[in-house]
């Protein structure tokens, strides 16, 4: 009988321990946050994660200590995990602390949480101006406490201290170039200076971006262009941006010269659709029930994909690699000009539309295609409607493009001289016959090759301004 009682007591104790043991867990909550926060004038939204795999979260908080650098004594009282407590214990200096987030969950020390919450995500907006943050250091203090009985019932506590650096001053920027004329679809050059704070800079024309090239510590030069389809009076400005997104802009005297854009109609014939468009559509997975429908997808969807491939091949501007005027394909006849809008017509009805961003140059079949100027090959291979395509980077963000080739004589990475053979002309891609599709890009914007073929224009608008 006595042994039964002992057995019963042992059973109760074991059951009690079995129940209570998890409540003594010593696993601290996990707080995830950026290691360091850099704030520009625009501020930032910061995501903070609080997690506790054991008994669950009891309380979490995020407090900003204004103007206080993150140091060992930042955490005045690690056990204070509500903003009120933290502020109260900071010696009455409540104005220096901004509570950003606080959450507590119901429950009792004995029974634990009403409902165990194991994860909480807080998104806090840090706005230096609205919060009156000074330039330089502040500190974000993050705390989390769980429902464990450890710490004499206080639970496990985690505190994470994140240094915050505020820099709302935009970089210095000054323009060195005077009056500049630039045609719609044409290019121009601007020189400017920035301070060391500027992480990136360039020219912005509406949506288009033309990164500058660093000639010296503070000297920058940018070749920029007015996209053919830019707004009627586009904003043309030099922009400098620092590491935390503070932006300086400067206008300069750039005058846009408008031009009229020709529109042409191109009749589509069954033979072309079946022989050219259908295989391209099949290869690209864009086949439709009729050759015309396939052509329509090729001319819009495949074209867009191919333009993205071209844009992706273009990198940051390097030092100029060209020498003198750009050469037009020898003994070639111009069959189509820059920027014309093409309406494709079947039986008098417009079925598709595209802008022609280059020049079509025709010579004899399989004519040698040569580099328009010195540079580095950045693309050599198939690109859908462009067929076999070569792209050459000439430096300062200037690229030339050679499409519809029948053969290749260069590979990506090759340095080429002006006049060096790149391959032979052909009719690969969306081409009705053997010709070269030649284009010039500044940044990722197509420009009129005529300017780059013109020695006088190049000297006055580019070369002189680079000296
Ligand atoms: Zn073309």
- Compute the chain's Rg from CA coordinates: 33
Residues in the chain: 467
d(CA 437, CA 362): 9
* Cα of 447 from ligand 1 centre, angstroms: 14
pLDDT of residue 269: 93
Instruction: State both tokens at 271.
Output: 């033979």
* Cα of 358 from ligand 1 centre, angstroms: 6
Q: Where are the domains of the chain?
A: 25-166, 173-257, 263-448+458-466
* Cα of 110 from ligand 1 centre, angstroms: 79
* Cα of 456 from ligand 1 centre, angstroms: 25
pLDDT of residue 75: 47
* Cα of 406 from ligand 1 centre, angstroms: 15
pLDDT of residue 78: 45
* Cα of 103 from ligand 1 centre, angstroms: 63
DSSP 28: P
* Cα of 125 from ligand 1 centre, angstroms: 50
Percent of the chain with pLDDT over 70: 92
Specify the 3-state DSSP secondary structure of 293: helix
* Cα of 388 from ligand 1 centre, angstroms: 13
Supply the DSSP string of 296-333, one letter for each residue: HHIIIIIHHHHHHHHHHH--S--S----SSPPPPTT-E
* Cα of 320 from ligand 1 centre, angstroms: 26
- List Cβ neighbours of 406 (8 Å cut-off, separation of 6 or more): 366, 388, 423, 424, 425, 426, 427, 428, 434
What tens digit of pLDDT does each residue of 228-279 get?
A: 999 988 999 999 999 999 999 999 899 999 999 899 999 999 999 999 999 9
Instruction: Tell me if the domain spanning 25-166 has CATH number 2.60.40.2550.
Output: yes
* Cα of 289 from ligand 1 centre, angstroms: 27
Specify the 3-state DSSP secondary structure of 233: coil
* Cα of 185 from ligand 1 centre, angstroms: 16
Residues of the chain with pLDDT under 50: 74-95
* Cα of 137 from ligand 1 centre, angstroms: 56
User: Can you say how many angstroms the Cα of residue 382 is from the centroid of all Cα atoms in its chain?
Assistant: 26
pLDDT of residue 11: 74
Q: In what order do the strands lie in the sheet with 30-32?
A: 30-32, 44-51, 119-126
The region that residue 456 occupies, defined by phi over 0 for left and psi between -120 and 50 for alpha, beta otherwise, is alpha
Rounded to a whole number, what is the distance in angstroms from the first to the last CA of the chain? 108
* Cα of 222 from ligand 1 centre, angstroms: 27
* Cα of 338 from ligand 1 centre, angstroms: 9
* Cα of 386 from ligand 1 centre, angstroms: 8
d(CA 63, CA 140): 6
DSSP 394: -
* Cα of 405 from ligand 1 centre, angstroms: 12
* Cα of 264 from ligand 1 centre, angstroms: 13
d(CA 195, CA 450): 36
What tens digit of pLDDT does each residue of 447-458 get?
A: 999 999 999 999
Q: Count Cβ atoms below 10 Å from residue 136 Cβ, excluding itself.
A: 11
d(CA 249, CA 401): 32
* Cα of 359 from ligand 1 centre, angstroms: 6
pLDDT of residue 81: 43
DSSP 13: H
Instruction: State both tokens at 336.
Output: 């189509």
* Cα of 383 from ligand 1 centre, angstroms: 14
**Burial degree of 83 (CB within 10 A; 0-12, 13-18, 19+):** buried
* Cα of 300 from ligand 1 centre, angstroms: 15
* Cα of 411 from ligand 1 centre, angstroms: 22
d(CA 299, CA 281): 9
CATH class of 173-257: mainly beta
- Domain 263-448+458-466 CATH (choose: 2.70.70.10, 1.10.3680.10, 2.60.40.10, 2.120.10.30): 2.70.70.10
* Cα of 437 from ligand 1 centre, angstroms: 4
**CA pseudo-torsion sign 120, 126, 132, 137:** positive
The region that residue 416 occupies, defined by phi over 0 for left and psi between -120 and 50 for alpha, beta otherwise, is beta
* Cα of 438 from ligand 1 centre, angstroms: 7
* Shared fold status for 173-257 and 263-448+458-466: no
Structure pTM? 0.80
Cα atoms in the 13 Å half-sphere on the side-chain side of 331: 7
Q: Of the candidates 413, 406, 402, which has an alpha carbon nearest to the alpha carbon of residue 375?
A: 413
d(CA 46, CA 319): 38
* Cα of 149 from ligand 1 centre, angstroms: 76
């Amino acid at each position: 009988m006595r042994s039964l009682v002992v057995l019963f007591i042992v059973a109760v104790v074991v059951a009690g321990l079995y129940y209570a043991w998890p409540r003594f867990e010593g696993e601290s909550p996990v707080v995830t946050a950026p290691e360091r926060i850099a704030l520009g004038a625009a501020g930032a939204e910061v995501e903070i994660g609080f997690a506790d795999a054991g008994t669950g979260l009891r309380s979490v908080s995020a407090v900003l200590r204004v103007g206080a650098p993150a140091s060992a004594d930042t955490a005045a009282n690690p056990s204070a995990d509500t903003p009120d407590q933290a502020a109260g214990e900071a010696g009455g200096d409540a104005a220096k602390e901004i509570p950003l987030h606080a959450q507590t969950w119901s429950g009792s020390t004995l029974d634990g949480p009403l409902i165990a919450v194991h994860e909480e995500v807080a998104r806090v907006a840090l706005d230096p101006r609205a919060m009156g943050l000074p330039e330089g250091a502040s500190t974000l203090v993050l705390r989390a406490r769980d429902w464990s009985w450890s710490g004499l019932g206080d639970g496990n506590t985690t505190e994470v201290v994140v240094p915050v650096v505020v820099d709302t001053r935009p970089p210095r920027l000054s323009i060195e170039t005077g009056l500049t004329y630039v045609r719609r679809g044409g290019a121009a050059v601007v020189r400017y200076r920035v301070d060391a704070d500027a992480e990136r800079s360039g020219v912005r024309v509406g949506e288009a971006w033309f990164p500058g090239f660093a000639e010296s510590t503070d000297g920058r030069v940018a070749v920029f262009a007015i996209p053919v389809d830019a707004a009627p009076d586009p904003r043309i400005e030099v922009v400098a941006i620092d590491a935390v997104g503070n932006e300086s802009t400067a206008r300069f005297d750039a005058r846009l010269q408008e031009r009229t854009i020709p529109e042409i109609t191109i009749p589509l014939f069954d033979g072309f659709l079946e022989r050219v468009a259908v295989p391209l559509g099949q290869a690209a997975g864009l086949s439709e029930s009729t050759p015309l429908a396939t052509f329509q997808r090729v001319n819009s969807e495949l074209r867009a994909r191919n333009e993205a491939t071209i844009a992706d091949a273009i990198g940051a501007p390097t030092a100029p690699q060209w020498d003198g005027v750009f050469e037009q394909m020898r003994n070639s006849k111009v069959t189509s000009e820059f920027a014309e809008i093409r309406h494709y017509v079947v039986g008098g009805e417009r079925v598709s539309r595209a802008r022609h961003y280059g020049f079509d140059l025709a010579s004899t079949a399989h004519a040698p295609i040569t580099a328009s100027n010195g540079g580095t090959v950045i693309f050599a291979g198939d690109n859908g409607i462009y067929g076999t395509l070569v792209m050459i980077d000439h430096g300062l963000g200037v690229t030339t493009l050679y499409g519809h080739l029948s053969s290749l004589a260069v590979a990506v990475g090759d340095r080429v001289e002006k006049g060096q053979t790149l391959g032979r002309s052909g009719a690969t891609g969306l081409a009705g016959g053997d010709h070269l599709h030649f284009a010039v890009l500044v940044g990722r914007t197509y420009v009129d090759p005529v300017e780059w073929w013109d020695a006088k224009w190049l000297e006055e608008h580019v070369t002189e301004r680079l000296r």
